[in-house]
């Protein structure tokens, strides 16, 4: 057993008694059915070692973590032109906030709040039918994780489609400013499916590994993005990946990270490892409560931080 395996197991064991703390997201009815006791951790190092603890092999709804991957796809498709449609500033607002959209003429603050992610999905949809675009996103995740066993949970997608009124409002609001190329129904058809991707901590950590290794997946040798682009995606994750909790996450964990309301967090330790944690109970900002604590402990124990050793 390497030291890192021991660290991951210790963190998992010490936080396990607190499983069930926080609040499971229920505004998407299907997510409310998740067992709040679930808790998984996966650390995949750039040297190819994998360290797991708890429910690391159980698939969960990645929700907003998908926004990292659609951003990567949109950048690949449209390059830096995407910044005409979305900003790069932390919002300081809730993930589903609409307030800034009116002040900023339909341009969302960043690609990780819902409005910004919907604008990015609109760009991924360019030249495709919604079905093709969903297929592209799923294939991209399979390619990144190097695993075929990644699917969309259709029950979660349908559940959000039926209740995602706020997202329809955000999309239609942007469209009213001419800042969305496709009808809200089409863009959100893709968006709800990308959010409903079901992946395990292990798969997610593998999928994010290219961001820890200057754009190249060290397991497959695939160059996914350039060095510069990987750095920039990490910068956005650090500044905007946890909504109005991004500053606190940077302070406590010090690593680029992206959370989802399914209770997952993907964190990137550049040059070291990609880490995925999952615990469904959320804190007041809609980020995994135990997941954030686990990452804070991991960063402390390993010394991993983008701010210095």
Beta carbon nearer to ligand GLN, 158 or 301: 158
Beta carbon nearer to ligand GLN, 53 or 115: 115
Catalytic residue among 43, 61, 66, 67: 67
| Chain positions contacting ligand GLN, by CB under 6 A | 63-64, 95-96, 114, 160, 167, 195, 260-261, 286
Q: How far is the CB of 272 from ligand GLN (least distance, A)?
A: 26
Beta carbon nearer to ligand GLN, 140 or 304: 140
Residue 84 appears among annotated catalytic residues? no
Q: How far is the CB of 280 from ligand GLN (least distance, A)?
A: 12
3-state secondary structure the chain: CCHHHHHHHHHHHHHHHHCCCCECCCCCHHHHHCCCCCCEEEEEECCCCEEEEECCCCCEECHHHHHHHHHHHHHHHHHHHHHHCCCCCCCCCCCCCCHHHHHCCCCCCCCCCHHHHHHHHHHHCCCCCHHHHHHHHHHHHHHHHCCCCCEECHHHHHHHHHHCHHHHHHHHHHHHCCCCCCCHHHHHHHHHHHHCEEECHHHHHHHCHHHHCCCECCCCCCECCCHHHHHHHHHHHHHHCCHHHHHHHHHHCCCCEEECCCCEEEEEECCCEEEEEECCCECCCCCEHHHHHHHHHHHHHHCCCCCCC
Q: How far is the CB of 90 from ligand GLN (least distance, A)?
A: 15
Residue 9 burial by CB count (10 A; 0-12/13-18/19+): exposed, middle or buried?
Answer: middle
Residue 143 appears among annotated catalytic residues? no
Residue 261 appears among annotated catalytic residues? yes
Beta carbon nearer to ligand GLN, 7 or 119: 119
Q: How far is the CB of 62 from ligand GLN (least distance, A)?
A: 8
Residue 67 appears among annotated catalytic residues? yes
Q: How far is the CB of 249 from ligand GLN (least distance, A)?
A: 14
**CB-closest chain residue to ligand GLN:** 64
Catalytic residue among 191, 246, 279, 288: 191
Beta carbon nearer to ligand GLN, 4 or 204: 204
Residue 64 appears among annotated catalytic residues? yes
* Residues known to be catalytic: 64, 67, 191, 243, 261
């Amino acid at each position: 057993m390497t030291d890192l395996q021991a660290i991951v197991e210790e963190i998992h064991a010490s936080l396990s008694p607190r499983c069930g703390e926080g609040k499971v997201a229920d505004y998407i009815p299907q997510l409310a059915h998740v067992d709040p006791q679930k808790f998984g951790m996966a650390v995949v190092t750039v040297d190819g070692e994998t360290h797991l603890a708890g429910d690391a092999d159980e698939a969960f709804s990645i929700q907003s973590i998908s926004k990292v991957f659609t951003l990567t796809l949109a950048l690949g498709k449209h390059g830096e032109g995407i910044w005409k449609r979305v900003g790069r500033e932390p919002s300081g607002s809730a993930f589903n906030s609409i307030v800034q959209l009116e002040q900023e003429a339909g341009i969302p603050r960043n690609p990780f709040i819902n409005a910004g992610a919907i604008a990015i999905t609109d760009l991924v949809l360019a030249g495709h039918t919604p079905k093709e675009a969903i297929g592209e996103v799923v294939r991209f995740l399979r390619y990144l994780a190097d695993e075929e066993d990644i699917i969309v949970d259709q029950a979660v997608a349908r559940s959000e489609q039926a209740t995602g009124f706020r997202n329809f409002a955000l999309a239609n609001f942007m469209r009213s400013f001419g800042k969305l190329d496709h009808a809200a129904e089409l863009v959100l058809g893709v968006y709800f499916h990308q959010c409903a991707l079901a992946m395990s901590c292990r798969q997610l950590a593998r999928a994010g590994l290219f961001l820890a290794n200057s754009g190249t997946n060290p397991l497959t040798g695939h160059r996914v993005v350039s060095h510069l682009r990987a750095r920039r995606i990490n910068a956005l994750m650090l500044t905007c990946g946890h909504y109005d909790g991004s500053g606190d996450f940077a302070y406590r964990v010090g690593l680029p990270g992206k959370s989802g309301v399914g209770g997952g967090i993907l964190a990137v330790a550049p040059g070291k490892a990609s880490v995925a944690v999952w615990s469904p109970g959320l804190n007041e900002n809609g980020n995994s409560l135990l997941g954030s604590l686990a990452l804070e402990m991991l960063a402390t124990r390993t010394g991993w931080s983008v701010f210095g050793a």
